[in-house]
Amino acid sequence: MISGLTHIFGKKWSLPVFEEIAYGKFDGFNRFLGRSKDMTPRILSMRLRELEKSGLIRKLSKARETDVYSLTEKGKELQGIVMEFKKWGVKHRFAAENCLKAPCTECSNFSG
């Protein structure tokens, strides 16, 4: 179980992509790429497919030429666990307070 999660979230960009979807901030493939330093279209495609294949996100119908994703029930449960990690990080000063209210990409500690 843990090795399966680390297989997904141990990869660069998996958690930021997951959190953008969790917070409803993923506003399209190209827009996300535009905000994300050093991420390639290939990597974003791979991360979205991996998250979808693992049952954490689902692709909804296209809305206004933009793919829309949402968390599955499994993904929502995992987001609760991610929030606990973030709370721990804030408590022990590994993360800024604003990291609790926004996806990783908006946190002052993010270095994508």
Q: Which residues lie below 8 Å from residue 28, measured CB to CB, with a gap of 6+?
A: 66, 67
Residue 53 lies in a domain: yes
> Are 97 and 9 within 8 A, CB to CB?
no
Q: Which range scores top for mean pLDDT: 18-32, 54-68, 97-111?
A: 18-32
CA–CA distances in Å: residue 25 to residues 69, 80, 91, 103: 10, 17, 25, 8
Q: Mapping DSSP to helix (H, G, I), strand (E, B) and coil, where does residue 35 land?
A: helix
Model pTM score = 0.86
Rounded Cα gap, residues 96 and 93, in angstroms: 7
What's residue 73's pLDDT? 97
Instruction: Look at the chain and report how many structural domains it folds into.
Output: 1
What's residue 42's pLDDT? 96
> Are 22 and 48 within 8 A, CB to CB?
no
Residue 94 lies in a domain: yes
Residue 112 lies in a domain: no
State the residue range of the domain holding 45: 2-106
Residue 58 lies in a domain: yes
- Say which CATH number the domain at 58 has: 1.10.10.10
Residue 111 lies in a domain: no
> What tens digit of pLDDT does each residue of 78-103 get?
999 999 988 998 899 887 888 888 88
